[in-house]
Copies of this chain bind each other. A is one copy, B any other.
Amino acid sequence: MPAMRPEPAYQILRQRLREEIAAGTYPDGVRLPTESELVAEYGLSRQTVRRAFQDLVAEGAVYRVPGRGTYARDNAYLRQLGSIEDLMSLSEDTTMEVLQGLSRRVDVAAASRLRLDHDVVYTVVFRRLHDRRAGAQRPGETDGVPFVVTTVHLPEPVARLVGDAPELTTGAVSTNTVIGLLEPHLNQPIAQAAQSITVAPADGVAAGAVGCDQGHPMLRVDRLYSDTAAAPVELAVSYFLPEQYTYRVTLRRSG
């Protein structure tokens, strides 16, 4: 087992400030501690304090004004865009059908994107279907139109939390999301999902799952979910049928 390295000082400070902000310690127009105050309080160098602030600015938690100070971003209104809640609510009117139950894999690419220091990940493959009006459904046949196939990769400790969930075994049908299944078990809540969206041809698995030709142009969405400590929790790679699905986001002005 690799020796547990202590967290860097700037990350500890960042986390601490984040918690204070979340606790409402710095409402509306209240200035956060200045750099020099934090230097004095924690015995750190100014550069270290600055690094913590820099990260908080990057994640949108605070903004800084030269000569004036640092302020928490008003959390009340949606800051940037369609939120993570939107992703979770996907389950409301779609059905998830597991093609390949959660199992241990060796996958260098996925492991490195999850920032693991080894090659083992836990993987589950499923497709999602638009719900149809019940009624025209024959017994033993899953109802609905498949529009996306997703491969989810989890680090081992995370996978252990849902290892016995019946929703993630081959053939299971439910109206969940993986992240929705995970969240209640996590110590740190999910805070971020970084997405990359591009076009990619359907491979054999994707084509079979959604019923299109192999090589058909698909909307590929990669999502990396991270918790409040910025630790990767889940990597999801989805192939959407563009004929059945359009990705929508609304950006809002930050300041």
Report A's interface with B, CB cutoff 8 A: 58-60, 75-76, 78-87, 189-201, 217-219, 242, 245-255
Cβ contact within 8 Å between A248 and B195: yes
Cβ contact within 8 Å between B254 and A78: yes
| Most chain B C-beta atoms within 10 Å of own C-beta, residue among A83, A198, A245, A253 | A198
Cβ contact within 8 Å between B75 and A246: no
**Within the complex, which residue of B75, B195, B197, B254 is in contact with A85, where a contact is CB–CB below 8 Å?**
B254
How near does chain B come to A175, taking the closest CB pair, in angstroms? 21
Query: Contacts A60-B252, A249-B81 given: A197-B197 contact, CB under 8 Å?
Result: yes
How near does chain B come to A14, taking the closest CB pair, in angstroms? 14
**Within the complex, which residue of B84, B198, B254 is in contact with A251, where a contact is CB–CB below 8 Å?**
B84
What residue in chain B is nearest A61 (Cβ atoms)? B252
Given contact pairs A75-B254, A197-B246, A249-B249, a sample of 14 additional A-B residue pairs in the complex whose CB atoms are under 8 Å apart: A79-B252, A80-B82, A80-B251, A81-B249, A83-B251, A83-B254, A85-B253, A87-B251, A189-B253, A192-B250, A193-B251, A194-B250, A196-B246, A198-B247
